[in-house]
Structure 1
Amino acid sequence: MNLNFELNLTQQQKLVMTQQMQMSIKLLQMSNIELNDYIKRELEENPLLEGKDRQNDKEYRSDMSKVDYKEFIKYLDFDNYTHENYHYRNEEEEVSPFNFIGNKKSFTEYLLDQLGEISIDRYTRPICEYIIENLNSNGYLPDTIEDISRDLHKNFKSVQKALEIVQSLDPSGVGARDISECLKLQIKRKNVNDITLMEIVDKHLADIAENKYNLMAKELNIDTKEAQEYGDYIKSLEPKPSRGFYTGDEVKYVVPDAFIRKIDNDFYVIMNDSSLPKLSINSTYKNILNNENDKKDVEYVKEKLNSAMFLLKSIEQRKSTLHEVLNEILKYQNDYFNGITNYLKPMTLKDISEKLEIHESTVSRAIREKYVYVDTKGLLKIRDMFTTGISTSVNQANKEDLSTQKIKNEIKELIAKEEKESPLSDQKISEVLKEKGMNISRRTVAKYREEIGIKSSAKRKRY
């Protein structure tokens, strides 16, 4: 065994990610909402940063428009940089629709309001309120009557009475312990008395979900068509009583990071800065930099100035990168935005990165969790505009690439027109698409069908 130690001198190139580089990448992949939260924290921690709310800034709202980013970047090299150094071109002012959003009444408040209109004794009302406050986001009661009795030190009958009162409120099905009870509460509210229907709710909900009406009919001693009619009726009921009410779980809104607007028959990318504060450097700290006697203060101001300048440059670099990416997407998908075609062309991160001569990961970070509002298409997630392609013909001379979205739409249309008593199998759909020049396998059809939320032919069959 050789235990000799040797010293070797080697030379290699290595990229070291500085803290600033890491933060620049982090800022690039932030959405407008995430960036806004980050800027607010920086404003609290850095006294050299000043921020003005654009929503209440009349000068900004009357001067909001497109930016020449290549020209704009020149101003980042000046120590006294502020957003005021560059002037925007005038556009028509637009009122944000979010200004008109009012407070939503929550599901809990809706139930408590109804409870206030009912004559209930003073002993039972607090139990009803406790039950309402403990409903989950679907409107179900996760606790047992025994648990509530123990927690409130109330007897079983009192809690049972309170639960019956809650279950009598609108919407029908509220306060159920499980989906079977939820459906049965709705059936009873409709005054439907059918023993078979109740048995199906108790024992055969899984069969309905799996379209196993033959098996269900055999066990209930009814014909298959009748079993399916029962299934259709049950599907018309609401499994989530809280649906449509504010429960605190849903995302309230999405703020687009940019707009693609059509002006004089041409599309333009306009960045949305309205949700971000208008940042500038506080000039009152300049005197400290000139004071050579207080080195600690000078070092502190320099550190905060560098931090503020880095943030301003990173925000503009983020905006510039996203603007360039969206401009390339606009060129690539111009026919789609103009309505010439209903489908997006196949487009990958590589297609855009090669055009801009940047890395694919930069494009990926730039579009992460970001949205764009297009005049002709509405709100779109930028990531969703990137689709893979598939050959429409095995003949290379006539080869044309179609996006997977178009293939999915073709599958949707075929299934929508199929005979419900004899639905198309994945193999049959594959054969039909091949006849149209779309050369995809049965497995690919099954994959796309599942992605668009369509069940298999066995589960789509009608009797």
Structure 2
Amino acid sequence: MSSQGFQQTQKQTQSLVLAPQLRNSLKILQAPAVELRTSILEELQVNPLLEELPIDCISVEEERDSGVDDEPEADEELNFNAEDYSILDKMSEDAREQFAQENSGLTHTTEDEERRDHFMNSLTQDVSLQQHLIEQAELTDCSDSEREALFYLIGSLDDNGYLTETVSNIALTARIPYGTVQKCVELLKTFDPAGIGTKDMQDCLLTQLELRGRETSLASRILRDHFSLLVRRRIPEICRKTGTTPDDVQAAIEEISTLEPAPGKRFSADSNSIIEPDVTVFKDEYDEWKIILNNDYIPRLRISSAYKELLAKGTLSKKEKDFMLERMRSGKFLISSIEQRQQTIERIT
């Protein structure tokens, strides 16, 4: 009879471990044009040190040369801390904790998992956000001109369900009276899902609270007056400015975490979405192949000079300085990665 027991063995393996910065750089390099633009716009929302420039201002390459060379700390390894997380991270964390609490101590068989997968797959929205909203617009009691304005607004929404264009720009482009556009924007905000047609995340969350009749709540006050502090999780500062306790603020944050920051995301993508090419290849008048990089979809970025000056003054606390340096490193890394991506695409084309 063979004996049973434990034994130790040594095994040598090789694996490639990528640093976080390299993984992010590869992600940017591989991202399609539209996805890259979305990622850049999201970074602009959470990084106050980044600025988007108009087309006629400096380029990505020029901005790289104008970096803050007198701040050696800005080039050190990124060191994130919990207070710098965005409100979306908080919402995601709350959802994971709730799921873990509800399912603690439970075991699932393979049959249970298959039933769950079938149920979750059946919840997938087959209709696009635009189709869902157009159906509501067609049933809305309004004039034909207002309905046409609603259709135009629906077609102008981004994937999050935000209406990022200003009312004046829409009125000018679509040749619709300003008052009609303004009225239809407010009408669109009453459509399902809640928060649709708002201009950004802050407006989206505030609108959802208003639809719940919570426009005078502490959660609404924090979103309206102290959104930048909320994004940076500065609870003590929020308490001081609102005259409330940490428990009150935490309860308000829990209420905010039940809201939908991107109401358009749960719908299927519009099948008529435009594909943005990274390069255009053509023959010139001498019958030679030429390439032109498509940089139009990439927002031009730079580090805010106002924050540079604030850092240079040396009046910040250590905590504030560390936060700004981390955001500066993150911003400079993004600018450098975008430049590297464009150079790589041009080289391999």
Which interval holds the TM-score relative to the shorter structure?
Answer: 0.3 to 0.5
What's the TM-score once normalised by structure 2's chain length? 0.40
Q: Which has the higher contact order (CA 8 A, sep 6+)?
A: 2
Name which one, 1 or 2, has greater alpha-carbon Rg. Answer: 1
What's the TM-score once normalised by structure 1's chain length? 0.31
